[in-house]
Structure 1
């Protein structure tokens, strides 16, 4: 299996129950990412944790080559919603060589959440985790 295809499908409970519960109990941590589907063009939504690192913000895909990461790579932009505010942004993919300190910080901030640390143990290579820097649209 290549890094391009590495993906850990979340268990049923995490997909069906976990995402709904996360919206209720982790509002202070999670944002809702909206990105257009690379095939359908329809807006897709998923809860994500936004990493703040050295004055920049990042999205990291803990489960590997997720649909949202592939859609964001194709679209190059998306929307983040949190606490009633919506922000449009451009996404710049971070080169693999620059990902290790971001992943380390992501784990220190979010590794306590269910399955996060486990996914990085199962997919240990930085290339397995698409990572995007969030760049605000200029007005």
Structure 2
């Protein structure tokens, strides 16, 4: 559903439905389902999409299951990490990239929480942490900080 790192028509529709549900506090997966809003780097308009929020060690994180070339990651980088997290209430946030050497445990927890991401990540969710360390550079992990 994400050939070339972009959602096809079905994935866009499913993302829209999930984003609407999360934004309205419906079926939020126990607080894991959130909607992230970023500004398009070319259009300047707000773009919303659903993500899974990872809580670990007292911090909140989001992960790009499609890697660094995902459009939302590129938009976020162009806007210096500024975004709005809706869980379900809007919260202006800044997303800060986690250093590669710190990503492995977050990626493992992410795969536990986000079954839809598992086909996009090349490591099994039950793999040893060392396997996650090998792929950590391929998947941006961003810490959520209040703006």
TM-score range with shorter-chain normalisation?
Answer: 0.7 to 0.9
TM-score by length of 1: 0.78
Matched, 1:14 2:11: yes
**Structure 2: any 5+ residue segments left out of the alignment?**
124-133
Q: Distance in 1 between matches of 2:78 and 2:100?
A: 18
C-alpha deviations, 1:16-53, integer Å up to 9, x for none?
2x214434474233211111112222211111111111
Q: How many Å separate the matches in 2 of 1:8 and 1:126? A: 18
| Equivalent position of 1:82 in the other structure | 87
**Structure with greater contact order relative to length (CA < 8 Å, sep ≥ 6):** 1
What CA distance in whole angstroms lies between the structure 2 residues aligned with 1:41 and 1:92? 21
Q: Distance in 2 between matches of 1:45 and 1:21?
A: 11
Tell me how far apart the structure 2 counterparts of residues 12 and 70 of structure 1 sit (CA, whole Å). 21
The runs of at least 4 aligned residues of structure 1 exceeding 2 Å deviation read 7-16, 20-29
Q: Find the counterpart in structure 1 of residue 109 from structure 2.
A: 105
RMSD between aligned residues:
2.1
TM-score, normalising length from structure 2? 0.74
- 1:117 aligned onto 2:118: yes
Uncovered stretches (5+) of structure 1, i.e. residues with no partner: 1-6
